[in-house]
Amino acid sequence: MFYVTLINSLVVSVAVVVHYESLYLVTLFIPKMQIKHRYRIVFGVFAALSAHALEIWIFALAYFLMNRAAGWGNLSGNIDGGLMDCGYFSFTVFTTLGFGDIEPLGHLRYLTGIESLTGLVLISWSASFLFYEMQRHWNTR
């Protein structure tokens, strides 16, 4: 169980660092853009979406590797266990959509639970960040 917690913590840590660094870079880049502020916000939205997609693929890679390794459990359902299936599963878990057509078994269940929580927090973080960026410039009119 120690290794499960350690690996899951590592995957979550990588996703959080990617998110932090992405938002930090956007914070540095947005003021330098020579376009209207509303288009800067659109850029921020696309940057946040791109960061989320990268984070989802980090989890997908973890599922893919764990699904292939002995002792971690597997993903069951109408899948072949390829990276695209793991990506699809990760997108549904991260967004807490959860269609239920793929089911984690064994220790993969723990990563699934923590990915849902991580997705909720990171999506909220992006929303707060974008709201702050909008408020900074809309109040100056």
pLDDT at 80 over 60: yes
Q: Whole-angstrom Cα distance, residue 124 to residue 42?
A: 17
pLDDT at 107 over 90: yes
Mean pLDDT for the stretch of residues 64-91: 93
Residue located via tokens 């290794």? 3
> Per-domain residue ranges for the chain?
2-138
Architecture of the 2-138 domain: Orthogonal Bundle (1.10)
C-alpha separations of 90 from 13, 43, 48, 129, 131 in Å: 16, 25, 17, 23, 26
